[in-house]
Structure 1
């Protein structure tokens, strides 16, 4: 029997060669470096342009104005002339008792305000972060709401609450036999501290709470296994691990305190013993817009900026030592 015929094997059609891939550009490739520089410039140039427009240029203009003073001639009937004063405005500011006294007021304000506000915010954050806390989101929003109110409006609200005959707080205090004059010579500063603490405690509580959320859970579990109670864990584990957050908050609080203006300005409307130059910013405002001495105001503002910079440096140094301890 003849063997069946076999069909010759068909040769497969030729396949096209796979496309060759271009080698990826290394990170050090000149084109890649130019692209990175363009990306960096795209994000940083707008910031530096805005920073120059709203910070650097006003400071340079203030430095220029501080070198001159307005002088009148002809018994005040001949108008005013701008005369070069050199560092005379700085000497006058540093020799002004009201200007120097305003820094003393702010120092006493910081002694009262910073422990109350930062300590209160830290305690609230620890309470919200504790295992026994319930309705955390509600309390976060409730504590933050005072900060959502603009500072001027908050000062007006408390000015109403401080006014006898209008304030329900004073009515309650009178009913309890506790008489307190919120606009008294010695009590007015406590009124200012209360306004600032009411506005900023909830804001800093949110910052501390965010820092506590970054504490590793296994560290807290290890502390619990070692027999550490809730209070000891909070003070010896949680607080040391958010030291950078606490230092940053202290830095911002000190810089903000030295620029205090709206709260004492409104309280001063009823507390006449405070004076229009109670804080450095109030002194600058009075010198510029009531005394029309723009050279003195410019020199005082530069001195205030220098003090704020030195204070920031000191707080940062002390905070770094605390973090390293």
Structure 2
């Protein structure tokens, strides 16, 4: 009897353990995501009205309905900032994923040497804080201090600035994605490669037709993370803004939100913009996630055919 009671107690404890483990994450999510999001939504339906005539001696908060959202939708500068963000993302996403995949495949070859040093060297930029990395690259771009041709090439020009910003983002993100893909490659059974070699496949064919097909879930996950990071572009252009006339205070949507809130002191408009922008990011993440899930399923079918 005592044994059955003790077993029942251990079973109840084990059933509660998963909930206790995820409880800190849930609390942090509520505290730093849900609560600020709800407060931003509350602020987005309000406006600050100044009273007292020309002197503006007083102000009061009034319910604005959808006025702030109407202003956001008709804000041409916001749409321009969104286009600039997409242009940088069009460079960042494919460059990050393809370079990470290339490095992972090279490190996984049988002829690779000094792989531990190479992994550390490629991953190290990811450990550098984004603001510090941007400052370092900013001095590399400046003509007065540039050792990479800044005296002859205008890295901060109206067109080249997109490549300059994207380069910093790629430099910092490739290492993390490479580690994810390389770990997936190392988890594959070596018998698959031996079978491919017996069938007469070259190392290049094994890499492109076998390895890439089997780690498609990892590639899809890295692509999703990279897309979400590109949509949240802020540190790089905001840090480079004092160094370049081509980067305005509203160059990307997050800079626009920051400027509205803390430069123009229009916290309500900034809240409305942030709500619209968050909804857009959520929609994009759902679409990209669905595409990644479809690709993941195709990878599973390939794996079953291989077995």
TM-score by length of 1: 0.87
Give the Å deviation of 1:64: 0.7
For the 8 Å contact 1:128–1:136, the answer to whether it is kept is yes
Superposition pairs of residues 246-285 of structure 1, within 5 angstroms: 246-285=219-258
1:54 aligns with 2:27: no
- The separation in 2 between residues aligned to 1:43 and 1:93, in whole angstroms, is 41
Hey, what does 2:12 align to over in structure 1? Answer: 34
| SS state at 2:62 partner | strand
What residue ranges of structure 1 are gaps of 5+ in the alignment?
Answer: 1-20
Per-residue CA shift, 1:89-125, capped at 9, x if unaligned? 1111111011111111111111111111110110011
- Displacement of 1:24: 5.5
1:99 corresponding residue in structure 2: 78
Q: Counterpart in 2 of 1:64?
A: 42
Contact 2:100–2:181 (CA under 8 A) maintained in structure 1: yes
CA apart distance, 1:287: 0.3
Measure, in 2, the Cα distance between the counterparts of 1:82 and 1:76.
18
Q: Which whole-Å CA distance do the structure 1 matches of 2:167 and 2:18 have between them?
A: 44
The reply on whether 1:151 has 2:136 as its aligned counterpart is no
Structure 1 residue 229 corresponds to structure 2 residue 202 = yes
The 2-side partners of 1:281 and 1:245 are apart by 28
Q: Distance in 2 between matches of 1:284 and 1:259?
A: 12
Cα distance between partner residues in 1 of 2:19 and 2:101: 39
Structure 2 portions without partners, runs of 5+:
299-307
* Secondary structure at 1:189 match in 2: helix
Q: Does 1:300 align with 2:262?
A: no
Residue 239 of structure 1 pairs with residue 212 of structure 2: yes
Cα distance change on mapping 1:76 and 1:216 into 2, 3 Å: farther
Moved segments of 4+, more than 6 Å: none
Structure 1 position 192, deviation (Å): 0.1
Give CA-to-partner distance per residue, 1:158-216, whole Å, 9 cap, x none.
01001112111126xx6xxxx31011111111100111111111121111111111111
* Residue 93 (structure 2) aligned to one of 106, 110, 114: 114
Q: Secondary structure at the match of 1:181?
A: coil
Instruction: Give 1:188's aligned residue.
Output: 161
Report deviation, 1:25.
6.9
RMSD: 1.8
May I ask how many residue pairs the two structures share in their alignment?
Answer: 297
Q: Verify the 8 A CA contact 1:220 1:233 in the aligned structure 2.
A: yes
Are the counterparts in 2 of residues 185 and 271 from structure 1 also a CA contact under 8 Å? no
Q: CA deviation at 1:87?
A: 1.6
